[in-house]
Amino acid sequence: MNTPLIDPFNRTVNYLRVSVTDRCDFRCQYCMSENMTFLPKKELLTLEELDQLCSEFVNLGVRKLRVTGGEPLMRRGILSFFENMGRHLESGALDELTVTTNGSQLERFSQPLYAAGVRRINISLDTINEAKFADITRWGRLPQVLRGIDAAQNAGLRVKINAVALKGFNEDELIAITEWCASRDMDLTWIEVMPMGDMGEENRIDQYWPLKDLRARLGDHYTVTDLTERTGGPARYVRLEETGQKIGFITPLTHNFCESCNRVRLTCTGQLYMCLGQEGMVDLRDPLRAPQDKDTLENAIRAAIALKPKGHDFDYSRQKADGQMSRHMSHTGG
C-alpha cells in the first residue's frame, strides 16, 4: 500500500477532479466569453494518458474521481474513459466515479454512464426559466437539459443541481428552484460566483450574491436547520424542515472553506492545480511521457502535493475582485 498523499497542512488528498476538455457547447456569462479561444486539440492529453494519470492517483490513495470540463461529455470517445475507470470501482480501489455536466448530452449518455459505474451526477443549472436560461448560457436550450435530467433519473442516477447565485438574475427564482428540486427529489447546492477568467471586474461585483443573504431569504419561507454533515468538500448543509430536503452552500467569498480541502484538479493538458483559487500548478505531462523509471510520475505528483497552499485569496469585500484567476473555470474544471 502506497503512502497516502498528505499536503503541508496535514490534509489527506483523496479526491481528484479531472478536466477532460476545455470545450463546452454553452457560453455561460460568468464562466467564459462568447468568443472563446479553446486549446488546440493536439495539446490535450489522450484519453489513454488521462487514464494513466488518474490510475496513478488512485494508486496513491485517491478514492473519488470527478470528471469535468468544459462539458466533459463533448470529448470524443469519453465513454471509453468512464468504462476503463470502472475497473477501479470493481477492484475497490475507487469509491466513487462521478461527473459534472451541463446536462446537454445526458439524454444519450445517462444509461451508458450508469453501466460504467457512475451513480451520482452534478448538473449545473442556474434557472428554470427558458428565456433566462438561453440568456445566461448564450447557446443553451433548457428543454434539452430537462430531457437530460429525465434520462438521468430514469437511468437510476442520483442528480444534484448546482446553481450559481447571481444577483439580479436568479434571486427571484430562489423558492421556485427549491420547490422544483424538492418535487423531483434532487439535491440542490448554491455556489457563490468566483472570479475566474477575465470577465471584467465590474461584472463580477454586479453578479455577486452572497449566500448569507440567500440563506436568510430561505429562512423567510422555511424552517432552516443547520446540519453538521461534512463530505470533505467545501459545502455546508442545511435542512428545510417543511420539504425535508438538504441544501448545500459553497461560499468561497463569504466563508473560506479551505481548512478541510481534500482535492486537487488535473487539466486536460496535464497541469495539476493544487488550489482552484491560486495560480500555482505543476505540469505532469513531461513526467507522464518521459521514458524514465516507474517512480518518475509518482515522485512528480508527491512533489506537487507538497506545494498545496493553505487556501485561496478570493475576496470581494473591498468592492473589487481580489484573488481573480487569469484562467477560465472551463480550463481548470471547477
Q: Is 24 annotated as a binding residue?
A: yes
Q: Is 222 annotated as a binding residue?
A: no
Q: Is 100 annotated as a binding residue?
A: yes
Cα 271 to the center of its chain, rounded Å? 16
Nearest Cα neighbor of 153 from 191, 183, 189, 190 is 183
CA separation for the pair 254, 8 (Å, rounded): 25
CA separation for the pair 244, 183 (Å, rounded): 11
Q: Quick check: helix, strand or coil at residue 102?
A: coil
Q: Is 30 annotated as a binding residue?
A: yes
Q: Is 270 annotated as a binding residue?
A: no
Q: Is 54 annotated as a binding residue?
A: no
Which residues lie closer than 8 Å to 129 by C-beta, 6 or more apart?
Answer: 142, 173
Residue 330: other Cβ atoms inside 10 A: 26
Q: Is 64 annotated as a binding residue?
A: no
Q: Is 194 annotated as a binding residue?
A: yes
Asked, as a colleague might, if the bond just before 61 is cis with ω within 30 of 0, I would say no
The Cα-based distances of 116 to 20, 66, 101, 104, 157 in angstroms read 17, 14, 16, 19, 12
Q: Is 124 annotated as a binding residue?
A: yes
Query: Using an 8 Å Cβ cutoff, are 95 and 63 in contact?
Result: yes
Instruction: Encode burial over 64-76: b for 16+ CB neighbours within 10 A, e otherwise.
Output: bbbbbbbbbbbbe
Length of the chain: 334
3-state helix, strand, coil in the chain (%, to 5): 35, 20, 45
Angle between helices 106-116 and 142-155 (to 10 degrees): 30
CA separation for the pair 118, 239 (Å, rounded): 26
* The residue to which cell 451541463 is assigned: 102
Q: Is 264 annotated as a binding residue?
A: yes
Annotated binding site for [4Fe-4S] cluster: 24, 28, 31, 258, 261, 275
Annotated binding site for S-adenosyl-L-methionine: 30, 70, 124, 194
Annotated binding site for GTP: 17, 66, 100, 160, 263-265
Annotated binding site: 17, 24, 28, 30-31, 66, 70, 100, 124, 160, 194, 258, 261, 263-265, 275
